[in-house]
Amino acid sequence: MNNTLLFDFTVNKATKTVLINREFAAELSLVWDAFTKQEILDQWWAPKPWMSKTKFMNFEVGGRRFYAMVGPEGHERWSVQKYISISPKSNFKMLNAFADKDENPELPGSEWDLNFSEENGKTKVSISIYNESLARLEKMIEMGFKEGFTMTMNSLDDLLKTLSHQ
């Protein structure tokens, strides 16, 4: 389906930075909305069978998004994102930290820098995530994505089958 779309994922252990590049077959304004509007974010942010549930999101400088990853058993893992800078349809930066259900962040979190650009009808998103400690990433996986992932691939396969039968 998206074999021709670029996907790079590199981890620079020395600078403790994760770099992710991905192209999308859509115009920039759609992709920008998908990253910055809560009702769209919640549709894709959590790998199935996890669900993304955003309690509130104020996409403005100094504003925050408070959201949970909800597991198949209803288990909630809260995180808070704070927007540091926003250049519409081009770049935004945020701090991301795990939190308790009362919005108290577990510091230090990670620093995110997201860049958006469009070329030939494709939109490229470049994300860099700086972590004070890469061990923090480990926590994400411990949260249970591991089990969830196989299921994601299966449901994607099903979806692709459905699409090709239409």
Give the footprint of another protein on this chain (CB under 8 A): 1-2, 5, 7, 9, 11, 13-14, 16, 18, 20, 22, 24-26, 30-31, 33-34, 40, 43-48, 133-135, 137-138, 140-141, 145-146, 149, 152-153, 156, 159
Nearer of residues 3 and 102 to another protein, judged by Cβ: 3
User: 68: helix, coil or strand?
Assistant: strand
Quick count: other Cβ atoms within 10 Å of Cβ 98? 19
Residue type, 137: L
Shortest spacing between CB 26 and another protein, in angstroms: 4
Nearer of residues 50 and 66 to another protein, judged by Cβ: 50
Pick left, alpha or beta for residue 19 (phi over 0 → left; psi -120 to 50 → alpha; otherwise beta): beta
Shortest spacing between CB 102 and another protein, in angstroms: 26
Nearer of residues 62 and 108 to another protein, judged by Cβ: 108
CB 61 within 8 A of CB 86: yes
Structure-block tokens of residue 5: 């779309």
Nearer of residues 43 and 85 to another protein, judged by Cβ: 43
Residue type, 97: A
Shortest spacing between CB 81 and another protein, in angstroms: 15
Scan for tokens 């209803």, then name that residue.
74
User: 72: helix, coil or strand?
Assistant: coil
Shortest spacing between CB 128 and another protein, in angstroms: 13
